[in-house]
Amino acid sequence: MRILPEISRTFGEYLLLPNLTDESCTPGNVDLSAPLVRHPVGQDSPIRIATPLVSAIMGAVSSPQLAIALAQVGGLSFIHQNQPIEEQAAMVAAVKRHKAGFRHNDVNIKPSATLGEAAGLLAGTGRETAVVTDDGSATGEFLGLISVQDFNFARHHRDDAVESRMRRVAELATGTAGMSLAEANSVLWDSRQDVLPIVGGDGRVTALVQRRDYELHQQFSNETVDGDKRFRVGAGVNTHDYRERIPALVAAGADVLCLDSSDGYSVWQKHVLDFVRGEYGDTVRIGAGNVVDGAGFRYLADAGADFVKVGIGGGSICITRDQKGIGRGQASALAEIVTERDAYARETGIYVPLCSDGGVLHDSHMAVAFAFGADFLMLGRYFARFSESPAPQVKHNGQILKEYWGEGSARARNAARYGQGRDLVFEEGVDGYVPYAGSLYDNVKVTLAKLRSTMISCGSTSLRRFHDTATLVQVSQQTFVQNSEDVQRNERPTVV
Q: What does each C-alpha distance from 60 to 55, 323, 384, 406 come to in angstroms?
A: 10, 22, 6, 8
**404 sits in which H/E element:** strand 399-405
Amino acid at 360: V
355 is catalytic: no
Calculate the CA 288 to chain-centre distance. 17
Sequence ranges of the binding site for NAD(+):
260-262, 311-313
Sequence ranges of the binding site for K(+):
313, 315, 318
- 244: phi then psi, degrees, rounded to nearest 5: -100, -40
Give dist(CA 265, CA 7) in Å, integer.
Answer: 22
- Give the active site residue among 318, 328, 355, 452: 318
Asked if residues 339 and 354 have their Cβ atoms less than 8 Å apart, the reply is no
Sequence ranges of the binding site:
260-262, 311-313, 315, 318
- Give the active site residue among 328, 417, 452, 458: 417
| Signed CA dihedral, 428, 431, 435, 440: sign only | positive
Strands, E assignment, 51-128 = 53-55, 76-79, 108-109
Please, where are the H alpha helices in 377-493? 381-384, 440-457, 463-469, 477-483
Burial class from Cβ neighbours inside 10 Å (0-12, 13-18, 19+) for residue 364 reads middle
Asked if residues 367 and 450 have their Cβ atoms less than 8 Å apart, the reply is yes
Non-local CB neighbours of 478 within 8 Å, separated by 6+ positions: none
Non-local CB neighbours of 283 within 8 Å, separated by 6+ positions: none
Strands, E assignment, 273-353 = 286-291, 308-310, 350-351
318 is catalytic: yes
Report the DSSP pairing between strands 234-237 and 175-176. unpaired
> What residues pair up with 438 in beta bridges, in sequence order?
386
Burial class from Cβ neighbours inside 10 Å (0-12, 13-18, 19+) for residue 491 reads exposed
Give dist(CA 186, CA 58) in Å, integer.
Answer: 39
Asked if residues 228 and 206 have their Cβ atoms less than 8 Å apart, the reply is no
Give catalytic residues, as residue numbers.
Answer: 318, 417
